[in-house]
A and B are shown apart, each in its own frame.
Chain A
Amino acid sequence: AQTVTQSQPEMSVQEAETVTLSCTYDTSESDYYLFWYKQPPSRQMILVIRQEAYKQQNATENRFSVNFQKAAKSFSLKISDSQLGDAAMYFCAYMWEYGNKLVFGAGTILRVKS
Protein backbone atom coordinates (compact mmCIF):
# COMPACT_ATOMS: atom_id res chain seq x y z
CA ALA A 1 0.00 0.00 0.00
CA GLN A 2 1.13 3.51 -0.73
CA THR A 3 2.05 5.56 2.32
CA VAL A 4 3.24 9.11 2.83
CA THR A 5 5.28 10.16 5.85
CA GLN A 6 5.91 13.67 7.11
CA SER A 7 8.29 13.39 10.05
CA GLN A 8 8.12 17.02 11.17
CA PRO A 9 4.90 17.76 13.06
CA GLU A 10 5.85 21.42 13.39
CA MET A 11 8.44 23.82 11.95
CA SER A 12 9.26 27.48 12.55
CA VAL A 13 10.95 30.00 10.29
CA GLN A 14 11.84 33.63 10.56
CA GLU A 15 10.21 35.94 8.07
CA ALA A 16 12.33 36.30 4.88
CA GLU A 17 14.28 33.11 5.70
CA THR A 18 14.16 29.74 3.95
CA VAL A 19 12.59 26.58 5.34
CA THR A 20 12.43 23.01 4.07
CA LEU A 21 9.61 20.59 4.85
CA SER A 22 10.33 16.88 4.53
CA CYS A 23 8.25 14.11 2.98
CA THR A 24 8.96 10.49 2.18
CA TYR A 25 6.68 7.99 0.53
CA ASP A 26 6.50 4.31 -0.17
CA THR A 27 5.27 2.84 -3.44
CA SER A 28 5.96 0.05 -5.88
CA GLU A 29 4.57 2.09 -8.77
CA SER A 30 6.90 3.56 -11.37
CA ASP A 31 4.73 6.42 -12.50
CA TYR A 32 2.96 8.74 -10.10
CA TYR A 33 2.49 12.34 -9.05
CA LEU A 34 3.45 14.09 -5.84
CA PHE A 35 1.83 17.20 -4.45
CA TRP A 36 2.19 19.74 -1.69
CA TYR A 37 -1.03 21.26 -0.38
CA LYS A 38 -1.34 24.21 1.97
CA GLN A 39 -4.15 24.45 4.52
CA PRO A 40 -4.36 27.86 6.24
CA PRO A 41 -6.57 28.45 9.28
CA SER A 42 -9.51 29.00 6.90
CA ARG A 43 -9.37 25.20 6.25
CA GLN A 44 -9.26 25.69 2.48
CA MET A 45 -6.95 23.17 0.78
CA ILE A 46 -4.72 24.96 -1.73
CA LEU A 47 -2.40 23.24 -4.19
CA VAL A 48 1.10 24.66 -3.85
CA ILE A 49 3.15 22.59 -6.26
CA ARG A 50 3.20 19.23 -8.02
CA GLN A 51 5.86 16.93 -9.43
CA GLU A 52 5.56 14.22 -12.03
CA ALA A 53 7.67 11.20 -11.14
CA TYR A 54 8.98 10.68 -14.65
CA LYS A 55 10.42 14.20 -14.77
CA GLN A 56 13.95 14.60 -13.51
CA GLN A 57 13.69 18.37 -13.18
CA ASN A 58 12.45 19.63 -9.85
CA ALA A 59 9.24 21.68 -9.98
CA THR A 60 9.30 25.36 -9.06
CA GLU A 61 6.48 27.84 -8.42
CA ASN A 62 7.75 31.28 -7.50
CA ARG A 63 9.11 31.00 -3.93
CA PHE A 64 8.22 27.33 -3.68
CA SER A 65 10.42 24.56 -5.02
CA VAL A 66 10.82 20.85 -4.45
CA ASN A 67 13.74 18.49 -4.10
CA PHE A 68 12.55 15.24 -5.65
CA GLN A 69 14.77 12.22 -5.10
CA LYS A 70 13.01 9.30 -6.78
CA ALA A 71 15.43 6.59 -5.73
CA ALA A 72 15.25 7.70 -2.11
CA LYS A 73 11.47 8.25 -2.39
CA SER A 74 11.88 11.70 -0.93
CA PHE A 75 9.96 14.86 -1.84
CA SER A 76 10.81 17.94 0.20
CA LEU A 77 9.35 21.43 -0.14
CA LYS A 78 11.54 24.50 0.09
CA ILE A 79 9.95 27.87 0.82
CA SER A 80 12.23 30.82 0.14
CA ASP A 81 11.78 34.35 1.47
CA SER A 82 9.12 33.15 3.91
CA GLN A 83 6.16 35.43 4.45
CA LEU A 84 3.62 35.66 7.25
CA GLY A 85 0.98 34.38 4.84
CA ASP A 86 2.90 31.13 4.45
CA ALA A 87 1.90 30.10 7.97
CA ALA A 88 -0.31 27.04 7.56
CA MET A 89 -0.47 23.27 7.70
CA TYR A 90 1.33 21.71 4.75
CA PHE A 91 0.41 18.29 3.42
CA CYS A 92 2.44 16.10 1.15
CA ALA A 93 0.30 13.87 -1.07
CA TYR A 94 0.75 11.04 -3.56
CA MET A 95 -1.35 10.02 -6.55
CA TRP A 96 -0.57 6.96 -8.62
CA GLU A 97 -1.17 6.34 -12.27
CA TYR A 98 -4.85 6.19 -13.13
CA GLY A 99 -5.64 5.95 -9.45
CA ASN A 100 -7.11 9.42 -9.16
CA LYS A 101 -6.88 9.05 -5.41
CA LEU A 102 -4.74 11.21 -3.18
CA VAL A 103 -2.93 9.70 -0.19
CA PHE A 104 -1.92 12.36 2.30
CA GLY A 105 0.80 12.59 4.90
CA ALA A 106 -0.01 13.67 8.46
CA GLY A 107 0.92 17.28 7.78
CA THR A 108 3.49 19.79 9.08
CA ILE A 109 2.45 22.97 10.84
CA LEU A 110 4.59 25.87 9.65
CA ARG A 111 4.87 28.93 11.89
CA VAL A 112 6.39 32.13 10.52
CA LYS A 113 7.91 34.57 13.02
CA SER A 114 8.05 38.29 12.34
Chain B
Amino acid sequence: DAGVIQSPRHEVTEMGQEVTLRCKPISGHNSLFWYRQTMMRGLELLIYFNNNVPIDDSGMPEDRFSAKMPNASFSTLKIQPSEPRDSAVYFCASSLSGGYNEQFFGPGTRLTVL
Protein backbone atom coordinates (compact mmCIF):
# COMPACT_ATOMS: atom_id res chain seq x y z
CA ASP B 1 0.00 0.00 0.00
CA ALA B 2 1.26 3.48 -0.83
CA GLY B 3 0.18 4.95 2.49
CA VAL B 4 -1.50 8.32 2.89
CA ILE B 5 -0.56 10.63 0.05
CA GLN B 6 -0.47 14.40 0.42
CA SER B 7 0.22 17.06 -2.15
CA PRO B 8 1.97 19.33 -2.48
CA ARG B 9 4.81 18.56 -0.05
CA HIS B 10 5.77 22.22 0.07
CA GLU B 11 3.74 25.30 -0.75
CA VAL B 12 4.88 28.90 -0.70
CA THR B 13 2.29 31.55 -1.35
CA GLU B 14 1.60 35.19 -0.73
CA MET B 15 -0.83 36.59 1.77
CA GLY B 16 -4.33 36.78 0.38
CA GLN B 17 -3.95 33.90 -2.05
CA GLU B 18 -6.07 30.77 -1.99
CA VAL B 19 -4.30 27.57 -0.95
CA THR B 20 -5.58 24.04 -1.49
CA LEU B 21 -4.00 21.05 0.19
CA ARG B 22 -4.83 17.56 -1.00
CA CYS B 23 -4.98 14.16 0.61
CA LYS B 24 -5.55 10.61 -0.59
CA PRO B 25 -6.24 8.23 2.32
CA ILE B 26 -5.26 4.60 2.46
CA SER B 27 -7.66 2.50 0.44
CA GLY B 28 -10.34 0.97 2.65
CA HIS B 29 -9.96 3.51 5.45
CA ASN B 30 -13.17 5.38 6.17
CA SER B 31 -11.98 7.99 8.67
CA LEU B 32 -9.87 10.95 7.62
CA PHE B 33 -8.26 13.59 9.79
CA TRP B 34 -6.61 16.95 9.11
CA TYR B 35 -4.03 18.17 11.66
CA ARG B 36 -1.93 21.30 11.84
CA GLN B 37 1.51 21.46 13.47
CA THR B 38 3.06 24.74 14.60
CA MET B 39 5.77 25.61 17.08
CA MET B 40 3.36 27.60 19.21
CA ARG B 41 0.37 25.25 19.31
CA GLY B 42 1.92 21.85 18.56
CA LEU B 43 -0.23 19.27 16.79
CA GLU B 44 -3.92 20.06 16.74
CA LEU B 45 -6.86 18.41 15.04
CA LEU B 46 -8.67 20.67 12.60
CA ILE B 47 -11.44 18.41 11.31
CA TYR B 48 -12.27 14.78 10.80
CA PHE B 49 -14.54 12.87 8.45
CA ASN B 50 -16.22 9.53 8.82
CA ASN B 51 -17.53 7.91 5.64
CA ASN B 52 -16.97 11.22 3.82
CA VAL B 53 -19.13 13.15 6.29
CA PRO B 54 -17.57 15.85 8.49
CA ILE B 55 -18.04 14.74 12.09
CA ASP B 56 -16.17 17.35 14.09
CA ASP B 57 -14.86 20.64 12.70
CA SER B 58 -14.46 22.37 16.04
CA GLY B 59 -10.72 22.68 15.46
CA MET B 60 -11.05 24.71 12.26
CA PRO B 61 -9.62 28.08 13.27
CA GLU B 62 -11.94 30.35 11.32
CA ASP B 63 -14.15 30.68 8.27
CA ARG B 64 -11.15 31.09 6.01
CA PHE B 65 -10.58 27.36 6.42
CA SER B 66 -12.78 24.79 4.73
CA ALA B 67 -12.46 21.06 4.11
CA LYS B 68 -14.25 18.69 1.81
CA MET B 69 -14.29 14.98 1.15
CA PRO B 70 -16.19 14.41 -2.10
CA ASN B 71 -15.43 10.69 -2.14
CA ALA B 72 -13.69 8.00 -0.13
CA SER B 73 -10.35 8.50 -1.82
CA PHE B 74 -9.89 12.27 -1.79
CA SER B 75 -10.04 15.22 0.57
CA THR B 76 -9.05 18.87 0.36
CA LEU B 77 -8.27 21.54 2.92
CA LYS B 78 -8.65 25.05 1.55
CA ILE B 79 -7.52 28.35 3.02
CA GLN B 80 -8.97 31.47 1.44
CA PRO B 81 -7.57 34.06 1.89
CA SER B 82 -4.31 32.84 3.39
CA GLU B 83 -2.44 34.78 6.08
CA PRO B 84 1.15 34.53 7.38
CA ARG B 85 -0.10 32.98 10.64
CA ASP B 86 -1.40 30.03 8.64
CA SER B 87 2.20 28.96 8.00
CA ALA B 88 2.51 25.46 9.41
CA VAL B 89 2.82 21.80 8.51
CA TYR B 90 -0.54 20.28 7.67
CA PHE B 91 -0.95 16.54 8.11
CA CYS B 92 -3.63 14.26 6.79
CA ALA B 93 -4.22 10.91 8.51
CA SER B 94 -6.58 8.04 7.86
CA SER B 95 -7.86 5.03 9.78
CA LEU B 96 -10.60 2.47 9.95
CA SER B 97 -13.48 3.87 11.93
CA GLY B 98 -14.88 2.38 15.09
CA GLY B 99 -12.93 1.59 18.20
CA TYR B 100 -9.30 2.43 18.65
CA ASN B 101 -7.76 2.04 15.25
CA GLU B 102 -4.33 3.36 14.44
CA GLN B 103 -4.21 6.57 12.48
CA PHE B 104 -1.73 6.50 9.61
CA PHE B 105 -0.21 9.86 8.80
CA GLY B 106 0.80 11.30 5.48
CA PRO B 107 4.15 13.06 5.02
CA GLY B 108 2.62 16.49 5.60
CA THR B 109 2.51 19.69 3.57
CA ARG B 110 4.74 22.53 4.72
CA LEU B 111 2.87 25.77 3.99
CA THR B 112 4.61 29.12 4.03
CA VAL B 113 2.54 32.26 3.61
CA LEU B 114 4.61 35.35 2.91
Contacts and interface: CB of A to CB of B under 8 A. Distances in A.
Interface of A: 33, 42-45, 47, 50, 52, 91, 95, 97-98, 100-107
Q: How big is the B interface, by class?
A: 20 to 34
Contacts of A47: 102
Contacts of B93: 45
A50 B102 contact: yes
A95 B45 contact: no
B42 A106 contact: yes
A47 B104 CA distance: 8
B50 A44 contact: no
A100 B43 contact: no
Interface SS majority for chain A: loop
A33 B50 CA distance: 19
Interface string B60-90: 0000000000000000000000000000010
Interface string B90-112: 01010101011011010110100
8 contacts: A43-B107, A91-B43, A95-B100, A101-B33, A101-B45, A104-B43, A105-B42, A107-B42
B56 interface: yes
Contacts of A97: 100
A45 B91 contact: yes
B43 A101 contact: no
